Amino acid sequence: MEEQTKKIQQELELIEKKLQDSTIFTTPDYPKIAKRRSELLEITNLMTDINKTKQQINQANHLITSSDKDLKTLAETELITLNNKLDELNNKLNNLLVPKDDNDEKNAIIEIRAAAGGDEASLFAAELYRLYIRWSEIHNFTTELLSETPNEVGGFKEIIFLIKGLEVYKLLKFEAGVHRVQRVPITESQGRIHTSTVTIAVLPEAEETDIEIDPKDLRIDVFRSGGHGGQSVNTTDSAVRITHIPTGIVVANQDEKSQIKNKAKALSVLRSRLLAKKIEQEQQEQSQSRNKLIGSGDRSEKIRTYNFPQDRITDHRINYSRSNINGALNGEIDDLINKLQEFYKTNNN
């Protein structure tokens, strides 16, 4: 604890020194620095309270040995209160000291894609999309459709959308991976259970200050939109495809009638994918142990199974199962999210 306290004090002193330069208040980094200062002050204040409480406990323990019965009784009562206070302060401190993801407070871009299973996978992709939309509504978060590729059966080959709200990325980042569904498809005449999969990627919405994109690194193509969208979709070259040449990442958008809006949405997704790529590279450079706690979020990793015949959802990373799939598909997944958050917190202390 002493070593940790020392590091926190040193970081706080460094920030205080930076803030002595008035020019920092106009820089893009200032909000982050101010927020970190606030976090460190909260930690140091807690540490001070803990030390004071420990001193009071020592004093109460000393008074318990008193020959004065009234004083001894008073000290025993005080000791119970102080020990409870100390436990509460230590719990708060432990929560603050859990390693934080700098992107936790960001909005989240969710990319859902049908994988194995043909039409059945695309239908399940649509159900998962509605799941997260309903979950967002329950929590008063707002959503924005960024891109969709529907198919003839009413499902989605791919759908990308944004969820805006406090700490959305923190809450949903462990949803990334392969979601498996086991059920009898509507088209199955012999009642056989099929297994299909859908991949989900969860990206922190990147701001322009997070990722710098050199315009020279972009190839932008415009083309005529196709598919659903009304009469105007097929009559103008409003669709936009952006290729990031250094990484080969390609993002296309055709959902808006305006080429400018489609370009803005495509750039937003591209920026977030580049940020996710940067995060992944940084994690690979660090110890692999942290990535293995819950999973890397790799799209090839099976994380959850929705078994309809048994009405059971199982998250394979934490060996947690529950019933009521219909409730989950209506956005009732807070138990899954909370257990994943708790598992992460416990294993990072």
Could you read off the pLDDT of 10-35 as tens digits, one per residue? 888 898 888 888 888 888 778 778 88
Please report the pLDDT score of residue 320 as a whole number: 94
The pLDDT of 330-336, averaged and rounded, is 95
Per-residue model confidence as pLDDT tens digits over 256-282? 777 788 888 888 888 888 888 877 766
Instruction: Give the per-residue pLDDT at 293.
Output: 41
Structure confidence at residue 348 as a pLDDT band (50, 70, 90): low
| Higher pLDDT among residues 311 and 344, named by residue | 311
Q: Which of 269-273, 276-280, 288-292, 329-333 has the lowest mean pLDDT?
A: 288-292
* pLDDT tens digits, 121-153: 999 999 999 999 999 999 999 998 888 888 888
- Compute the average pLDDT of residues 229-238: 53
Percent residues over pLDDT 70 in the chain: 86
- Which class for 123: exposed (0-12), middle (13-18), buried (19 or more C-beta within 10 A)? buried
For 253-259, which contacts have Cβ atoms below 8 Å and span 24 or more sequence positions? 253/146, 253/147, 254/147, 254/225, 254/226, 254/227, 254/229, 255/145, 255/146, 255/147, 255/148, 255/229, 257/232, 257/233, 259/222
Q: Determine the pLDDT at residue 207.
A: 75
Q: DSSP for 285-332?
A: HS-THHHHHH----TTSEEEEEETTTTEEEETTTTEEE--HHHHHTT-
pLDDT bracket for residue 226 (50, 70, 90)? low
The percent of the chain in helix, strand and coil, each rounded to the nearest 5, is 50, 20, 30
Q: How confident is the model at residue 231 (pLDDT cuts 50, 70, 90)?
A: very low
pLDDT tens, position by position, 164-190: 998 899 999 999 999 999 998 876 667
Are the C-beta atoms of 71 and 61 separated by less than 8 Å?
no
pLDDT of residue 153: 84
What gap in Å lies between CA 294 and CA 22, rounded to an integer? 42
pTM above 0.85, yes or no: no
Residue 117: partners with Cβ closer than 8 Å, 6 or more residues away = 124, 181, 194, 195, 196, 197
